[in-house]
Structure formats: C-alpha cells, structure tokens
Amino acid sequence: MKKFDVLVVGSGAGLEVASNASEKGLSVALVEEGPLGGTCLNRGCIPSKMLIHSADVAETIRSSEKFGIKSKIENIDFASIVKRVSGAVDTDSAGIEKSLREAGNPTLYKMHGKFIGPKQMQVGDEQIEADKVFIVGGTRPSIPPLPGLATTPFLDSTKALKLEKQPEHLVVIGGGYIAAELAHFYGALGTKITVLVRGEKMLDNEDEEIADWFTKEFSKKYEVLFKTEAEAFSYSENTFTIKLKDDGGKITADQLLVATGRRPNTDILDVAKTGVEMDDKGYIKVNEYLETNVEGIWAFGDIIGILPFRHTANDQVGYSLRNAFTDKKVPFDPFGIGHAVFSSPQIGGVGKTEQQLKKEGIPYKVGRAELKDTGMGGALQENGLAKVLTDETGQKILGCHIVGPQASVLIHEAIVAMKGNGTVNAITQSVYIHPALPEWLQRAFFAIE
C-alpha cells in the first residue's frame, strides 16, 4: 500500500488543500474521477452562469420596446452558445490537469476511488493511505425512482449544460434554484417551458415573501403547474410522455429536465468504511473545526451540507488548512455567507429568513422597500423587493433578501455589513450615490420598524 502524508478526495475546493500541502513539502495524493476543477467549474456555477448571460441578453433585447427601442432577435445559434461555454470550461479543466501532472506532487489519481478503511482508499488497481485525509467529494443530482424515468434519455443538471440542440418544449420537474435557472436559460432563448412544482411556490427555501414575489413574476413568463407531481414516464419517437398524479392527465415534450435536488457522494465513495459519522441524508458530520469524528480526517464543501456553495467551500479551505497544519485551531463561522439565484428575476439572500426567525422564536424587526419607489426603478422600468431582518433593537442584521434586477450584486452590501460590524448603521450612515440602484437596498434599512 502506497503511503502519502495527505490524501485529498475531490478537485474542486480540495485542489487548494492539495496544492498548499504540496508547497509545504508534503507528499499528496489527489483523487478525482471527473474532470479537474470540480462541480463548480465543470457542471455547476461557471458554465451555467455563462449560458444564462446569453439568456439575459436575449431577454433585454425582447424588452427593449418599453424604452422606445424596437428590436428583434433574428436567430438563436444555440449550438454555438453551448459550444463556446463548453470549450472555455474544458480548456480550463485541461489546464489544471496539465499543471498538476507537470508538477508531479500532488500525485493525481484520475479515476474512481473508494475508501477501504479509516484513511485508506482503493484507486483502480492500487491501494493508498495517508496520515491526513480531506474529503471534499461534493454532491450529484438526486434522481427520484419514478416508474419509467430511468429508461428515458432525460436531462439532469449536468447534461442540461451540454445539450447542443435547443428543445422546442422543455418540461422541468422541480421548483428549486437549478430548475429556476435552467428554465430561464432555455425559456429566454425561445424554448416553451413547463415547470412541475410539488408545492405551492417556487424556491420555497428562500424567505417566504421573496419566494412569493419570484413565483408570481416567473409564472408570468412560463407555464408553472403547482401541486403537481409526475407519476410515470415513457419515451417514444423523440417524445417524452409524463403522466401526472391524481388523474392530472399527461404532458408531452421533446425534452425533460429532472431538477429535484442533489445528494452527497458519500455512498459512491464508501465513506462508511472510514468510520466517519454521517447524517440520515448521507452528509458528513463535522464539528466547528471541520473535523470528523475520526482523528485526522477533515471534510468540507457540499459533502457536509452546510451552505453548499462554491464560495462557502473556498472559505472553508483556509479553516481546514489552519486546523490541520497549525497548532491554533480556528472555528469556521457560516455567519454572513450569502447566495444568489441567477434566474429572472434574480434573487440574493444572506442570513435568516423571516420564517426561520419565527420558528426559532427570535424577536425581530423588518424593513422593506420596492424598487419602483426609487429613481433607478423608474429608469429601469422594473420592480423588485428588498427586505432586511434585524434583532428587536433594530440594529443587528440577522438576514437580508432581495428579488429583482442585480440582486446577486446588491446583496453584497448586506454581506459586507454583516461580516464587518453586523449593524444597520453600516448601511444607513453611508452616503449612497443618487439615483444608483443600491439606494433601493438602503431604503429597506431605513424602513426598519
């Protein structure tokens, strides 16, 4: 069995740990079955946002007449859009692999690996072990075991980013952020969209008011069927047939996207063989130092299920390195880590939602502002809602949520304030440029009561 100082499983944020450890002169093994760069680069945030920008451009053109500009889209070169994005992503991934192989350390095992002991792994025909292990194995699409689905050529979120022929009619199963983003991408480029949502609204993990607002606006653009579930699937002559529950009839389409969440890769990595504890959904349990219950094994990123975003994992890299390679442990603090949904309209959020505060019995105050009541709202001829939640003194920011144009950018005002002194004064005592878009968020802070 080949011995290393460090074993890293996963080449997303785990790549930073592997590189840092090798720079320290430690021998490192990096196990990655897929293309280098992890989910974000290859099948997540990078390609999806590159594709979505094309959709945003198309939507801007289609809405130009409200500004007195008549325009039309003559052609959508869908294959070219996808090819450009895939080419850029594949080039970056190949570059990472080339650099690793030229460096020699870390040693790259570009193949499937499975744990066979606490710090031991089978990779191909070889067995390896290490003193320190970092499990950064990520997640994958979760596909429900519905009758007939597995026998159809349906799309998951990975395949949907590589599809070279634009569908005429796309049925999307799911109401989360992946469903919202990919439906926007295809829909804005001209595909007919039908979304099947099990609940009463889309994005039900967001603040309720924000989710309601998004659901209303999104439903104006696309067909969204609420309280609707698929019961069975079939595929024939390039057509999907989706049978709905409760005698809801059937829907046919030339393409089907299943976006029903994600699941951790702990099962396919056989993490149970390490003795590491997991929760009932398979996510790895860690303490505040990102340590597992097995000494010498750390885990972070999506596989631990805490704010599963690439920027979270990037932040956790530093904590993992300090806690594994220095004498002073530093606890990871998830406070003030935000997120965004790059659909139309956009959503940006950070901290607690109002329903979470109610459930936890935490006293709070609320401030709200609509974009239409600002100068830039009139210029953009758009509306949206900005909402801030504070403690009962009206000073400490507990959460902030935005739905509307540039929400993914504006939310950083609140993130910076929360990560800084965490008080409302950071926003209300600043002098904002008039009539710039950030005034909208500031008005929500002034409205706290």
The confidence score (pLDDT) of residue 106 equals 96
Domain annotation covers residue 12: yes
| Sequence-separated (6 or more) residues with CB below 8 Å from residue 12 | 37, 38, 39, 40, 41, 136, 138, 301, 310, 313
Q: Are residues 128 and 269 in the same domain?
A: yes
The confidence score (pLDDT) of residue 7 equals 98
Q: Are residues 218 and 275 in the same domain?
A: no
- In the numeric block, which tokens belong to residue 18? 């592997």
- Mean pLDDT of all residues in 98-122: 94
Domain annotation covers residue 333: no
Residue 376's Cβ-count burial label (10 Å; 0-12, 13-18, 19+) is middle
Domain annotation covers residue 331: no
Q: Are residues 31 and 119 in the same domain?
A: yes
Confidence grade of residue 39 (pLDDT, cut at 50, 70, 90): confident
Q: Are residues 365 and 404 in the same domain?
A: yes
Whole-number average pLDDT of the chain: 96
The confidence score (pLDDT) of residue 41 equals 82
Query: Residue 362: which domain range?
Result: 345-446
Domain annotation covers residue 95: yes
Q: Are residues 252 and 396 in the same domain?
A: no
Q: Is pLDDT at 305 greater than 90 in this prediction? A: yes
Domain annotation covers residue 153: yes
- pLDDT tens-place string over residues 342-362: 999 999 999 999 999 999 999
Quote the CA–CA distance of 431 and 279 in Å, as a whole number: 47
Confidence grade of residue 134 (pLDDT, cut at 50, 70, 90): very high
- pLDDT tens-place string over residues 62-106: 999 999 999 999 999 999 999 999 999 999 999 999 998 988 899
Q: Are strands 385-390 and 397-403 parallel, antiparallel or unpaired?
A: antiparallel
Quote the CA–CA distance of 395 and 319 in Å, as a whole number: 29
Share of the chain above pLDDT 70, in %: 100
CATH number at residue 320: 3.50.50.60
The confidence score (pLDDT) of residue 360 equals 98
Q: Are residues 181 and 234 in the same domain?
A: yes
The confidence score (pLDDT) of residue 411 equals 98
Give the helix/strand (H/E) hosting 387: strand 385-390
Residue type, 75: N
Task: Decide: 369 and 447 in contact? Cβ < 8 Å.
Answer: yes
- pLDDT tens-place string over residues 166-216: 999 999 999 999 999 999 999 999 999 999 999 999 999 999 999 999 999
Torsion sign, CA atoms 311, 317, 127, 286: negative
- pLDDT tens-place string over residues 382-433: 999 999 999 999 999 999 999 999 999 999 999 999 999 889 999 999 999 9
**Domain count across the chain:** 3
Among candidate residues 260, 282, 303, the one where a domain is terminated: 260
Q: Are residues 314 and 413 in the same domain?
A: no
| Sequence-separated (6 or more) residues with CB below 8 Å from residue 91 | none
Confidence grade of residue 333 (pLDDT, cut at 50, 70, 90): very high
Domain annotation covers residue 295: yes
- In the numeric block, which tokens belong to residue 199? 């609940």
- In the numeric block, which tokens belong to residue 2? 């080949």
The confidence score (pLDDT) of residue 113 equals 97
The confidence score (pLDDT) of residue 38 equals 87
Q: Are residues 65 and 130 in the same domain?
A: yes
Among candidate residues 238, 260, 282, the one where a domain is terminated: 260
- For the question of residue 169 being annotated catalytic, the response is no
- Mean pLDDT of all residues in 296-323: 97
Confidence grade of residue 29 (pLDDT, cut at 50, 70, 90): very high
Q: Are residues 245 and 373 in the same domain?
A: no
Quote the CA–CA distance of 349 and 385 in Å, as a whole number: 12
Confidence grade of residue 289 (pLDDT, cut at 50, 70, 90): very high
Q: Is pLDDT at 42 greater than 90 in this prediction? A: no
- pLDDT tens-place string over residues 140-170: 999 999 999 999 999 999 999 999 999 999 9
Which DSSP state fits 124?
T
- Mean pLDDT of all residues in 257-276: 98
CATH number at residue 409: 3.30.390.30
Confidence grade of residue 44 (pLDDT, cut at 50, 70, 90): confident
What is the pTM for the complete model shown?
Answer: 0.95
Domain annotation covers residue 332: no
Q: Are residues 286 and 407 in the same domain?
A: no
Among candidate residues 242, 260, 278, the one where a domain is terminated: 260
Q: Are residues 87 and 214 in the same domain?
A: no
The confidence score (pLDDT) of residue 43 equals 83
Q: Are residues 355 and 228 in the same domain?
A: no
The confidence score (pLDDT) of residue 398 equals 98
Domain annotation covers residue 340: no
Q: Which of 184, 311, 401, 434 is catalytic?
A: 434
